Structure 1
Amino acid sequence: MKPNRFSVIGFDSAWTDKPKAPGAVCVIRSNSDGKLIYSEPQLASFAQALDIIHDEQKRTELCLVGIDQPTIVPNLNSLRPVDRIAGSLVSWIGGGVQPANRSKIGMFDDAAPIWKFKEALGAIEDPEAARAASAGLYIMEVFPALALAGLNSAFCDRLKGPRYNPQRRKTFQLTHWHDVIETIRRFGTLAAIEQIEDWCNANRSLPLPRKADQDKLDAMICALVGMHWLTAPREQSMMIGDLESGYMIAPAIDGVHDRIVAKAREIGVPVDGRAQR
């Protein structure tokens, strides 16, 4: 008998499959008593992530993978429509959206690891169906930068997005790292994830975070987004785009931002399955 009610796996894939620059995986589980627990984020390649996910399938009936990488990329060049919409908000808060198209060798060409990963995973890609499911393996695309804007209203203002990537030495700010950790602490505590404060305390005390630390942090954010998608009221999340041209799932606790709505209306892309008027 499988004891856990569901497992959410957050996977910051790093987009390519370089042994010296792996991604990271974090797991949040709901056990038979409904309590939420997490497994320490760990560095992982695509193959290692597959092993972790398959192990989680042995523990639970329902398993959702939230991956920080485009999972549907039909366009040969330029950006996907969902990238343009997300970019309208992320650029406003001071970040950026990396274009996803099939011309990016090693990321989205026919031989890219993401397609081999999805094939080996064999998950259903239908976020709305995942919310209604009691069993099965599902996958959905998430974007930590967009998620943070939905989790913390202080980030969702002109040039107020956190600069917490330690690899970008010119823009990285330790106070912003602390702000992201506190956002995770607050959100995780409200969700009653057991002992998440321990992880937050350990990461807040890092004197100089490394890129690997940020990968683990993003994996935690991916897992939190997946948990929120499954458990929170539907109106507190948004699905930008569709399953044909690409999409993203993100929290929208205060409602879908006006910039998202305006850009979606401009280029004719649905938000939450509806055309914007």
Structure 2
Amino acid sequence: MDRGRFSIIGFDSAWTDKPKAPGAVCIIRSSMDEKLSYVEPQLASFAQALDIINRECELTELCLVAIDQPTIVPNLTSLRPVDRIAGSLISWIGGGVQPANRSKTGMFDDNAPIWRFKEALEAVEDPEAARRAITGLYLIEVFPALALAGLNSAFCDRLKGPRYNPVRRKTFQLTHWHSVIETIRHFGTLAAIEQIEDWCDITGSLLLPRKADQDKLDSMICALIGLHWLTAPREQSMMIGDLETGYMIAPCIDGVHDRIVAKARENGVLINGATVLVSGI
């Protein structure tokens, strides 16, 4: 599809709005001649991210915001159905899914920053419509940990998920940090994003990455998920859940993982807008 100019904005929001612990934003742009470039990730609060998005919308016909935070949370307690499905794979590879519910003050209560952000953003939250669009502002929810398992088969095995959060000193491994960066390098190079190797070289050279560095890295992953959703064949991505109870968008280069399929069937959760049948999707 010829969309002309478009921008993907990856936003690792950090879920709360603490001045000393902001999230990060990264932009991937497509020019009229379909060349892809990126704007280096930068730390950003919700308000700063909103300003960045508004400025970007003035430069392009189509803008897709890919945010690493639950955007639809109707449940008062426990987990959303989509969290249970994603968690079936994430726990198997050695990670975890933070429960999203309205009882989490500062994250999803009525006064949480995510709702003010969405209200001010005024974006269309319809992932499938975003794929068909040539103009407008759209929002999708993404999850970097789930995306990495779909982009790099080495991460998608029992307890093989990357431990690249520097805050978790007991589990953080610099080799895993490098593996995530190489995954970004490979994916970005295949997408022909200009000079993505430069960013990967700089980020990979950090001897002691900080949480802020990981936030920037995750914002790049968010942007790449959005780019993949918008431009790759539909069968190479999955939408788990729905627009009423919550959803996630993630790459699945080799198809939807069996654990996702089995858990979705067990819980009656939609994948790609359809009920999972006994024989498959």
Who is 2:112 aligned against? 112
Q: 1:169-224, CA deviations, whole angstroms, 9 ceiling, x for partnerless residues?
A: 00000000000000000000000000000000001100110000000000000000
Who is 1:180 aligned against? 180
Q: Which structure 2 residues correspond to residues 207-226 of structure 1 after superposition, within 5 A?
A: 207-226=207-226
Who is 1:228 aligned against? 228
Q: 1:61-86, CA deviations, whole angstroms, 9 ceiling, x for partnerless residues?
A: 10000000000000000000000000
Q: What CA distance in whole angstroms lies between the structure 1 residues aligned with 2:208 and 2:231?
A: 34
Query: Secondary structure at the residue paired with 1:60?
Result: coil
Instruction: Give 4+ residue runs of structure 1 displaced > 2 Å after superposition.
Output: none
Who is 2:58 aligned against? 58
The answer on whether the counterparts of 1:4 and 1:59 sit within 8 Å (CA) in structure 2 is: no
Who is 1:87 aligned against? 87
Q: What CA distance in whole angstroms lies between the structure 2 residues aligned with 1:51 and 1:31?
A: 21
Q: Which structure 2 residues correspond to residues 247-258 of structure 1 after superposition, within 5 A?
A: 247-258=247-258
The answer on whether the counterparts of 1:4 and 1:29 sit within 8 Å (CA) in structure 2 is: no
Query: Secondary structure at the residue paired with 1:201?
Result: helix
Who is 2:269 aligned against? 269
Counterpart AA for 2:36: L
Q: 1:35-77, CA deviations, whole angstroms, 9 ceiling, x for partnerless residues?
A: 0000000000000000000011001010000000000000000
Who is 1:5 aligned against? 5
Q: What CA distance in whole angstroms lies between the structure 1 residues aligned with 2:40 and 2:208?
A: 19
Who is 2:164 aligned against? 164
Q: 1:109-143, CA deviations, whole angstroms, 9 ceiling, x for partnerless residues?
A: 00000000000000000000000000000000000
With the length of structure 2 as denominator, give the TM-score of the two structures: 0.97
Who is 2:42 aligned against? 42
Query: Secondary structure at the residue paired with 1:53?
Result: helix
Q: Which structure 2 residues correspond to residues 132-211 of structure 1 after superposition, within 5 A?
A: 132-211=132-211
> What displacement does 1:32 show?
0.7
Who is 2:239 aligned against? 239
Structure 2: give runs of 5+ residues left out of the alignment.
none
Who is 1:97 aligned against? 97
Q: What CA distance in whole angstroms lies between the structure 2 residues aligned with 1:4 and 1:143?
A: 27
Q: What CA distance in whole angstroms lies between the structure 2 residues aligned with 1:268 and 1:230?
A: 27
Counterpart AA for 2:146: L
Structure 1: give runs of 5+ residues left out of the alignment.
none
Q: 1:148-169, CA deviations, whole angstroms, 9 ceiling, x for partnerless residues?
A: 0000000000000000000000
Who is 2:33 aligned against? 33
Q: What CA distance in whole angstroms lies between the structure 2 residues aligned with 1:126 and 1:150?
A: 22
Query: Secondary structure at the residue paired with 2:176?
Result: helix
> What displacement does 1:5 show?
1.1
Q: What CA distance in whole angstroms lies between the structure 2 residues aligned with 1:18 and 1:210?
A: 17
The answer on whether the counterparts of 1:146 and 1:250 sit within 8 Å (CA) in structure 2 is: yes
Q: What CA distance in whole angstroms lies between the structure 2 residues aligned with 1:4 and 1:266?
A: 42
Question: Percent same amino acid among aligned pairs?
Answer: 83
Q: What CA distance in whole angstroms lies between the structure 2 residues aligned with 1:203 and 1:60?
A: 28
Query: Secondary structure at the residue paired with 1:49?
Result: helix
Counterpart AA for 2:257: H
Counterpart AA for 1:130: A
After superposition, the CA RMSD in angstroms is: 0.8
Q: What CA distance in whole angstroms lies between the structure 2 residues aligned with 1:121 and 1:4?
A: 22
The answer on whether the counterparts of 1:11 and 1:68 sit within 8 Å (CA) in structure 2 is: yes
The answer on whether the counterparts of 1:127 and 1:140 sit within 8 Å (CA) in structure 2 is: yes
Q: 1:8-42, CA deviations, whole angstroms, 9 ceiling, x for partnerless residues?
A: 00000000000000000000000011000000000
Counterpart AA for 1:225: I
Q: What CA distance in whole angstroms lies between the structure 2 residues aligned with 1:237 and 1:51?
A: 29
